[in-house]
Amino acid sequence: MPQIFVTQQDGQTLTLDVAAGARLMEALRDGGTTVEGTCGGACSCGSCHVYVDAQWLSKLDAAADDESEMIEAIGDVVEVRPSSRLACQIHMSDALDGLSLTIAEAI
């Protein structure tokens, strides 16, 4: 089971086990972080916005148009970085074991 390393907005770090095939958003929401996942993974709210550590970006599938558009839209209210992703659009796999990310500020 892949492990991820999460830095929360307050600087606290967590290590979470995530089942391969699960959406990253669900693991963050259920793992005691501040991620809400309000839309349930429909890529329509931005409440699962994270900053993926740079060394992991190339290991993720590219963001689809709807994810890119949502990230652009939330940029009016929160800081968007080149490493911004929506956790609901990241499906965990063994290749992502060790993934490191920071939870973005809440919308």
Q: What is the pLDDT of residues 35-59, one digit of tens each?
A: 999 999 999 999 999 999 999 999 9
Q: Output the pTM of the full model.
A: 0.95
pLDDT tens digits along 5-35: 999 999 999 999 999 999 999 999 999 999 9
- Residue 21's region, left for phi above 0, alpha for psi from -120 to 50, else beta, is left
The CATH number that domain 3-103 falls under is 3.10.20.30
Q: Measured between alpha carbons, how far is 105 from 6 in angstroms, rounded to an integer?
A: 14
Q: Measured between alpha carbons, how far is 48 from 69 in angstroms, rounded to an integer?
A: 14
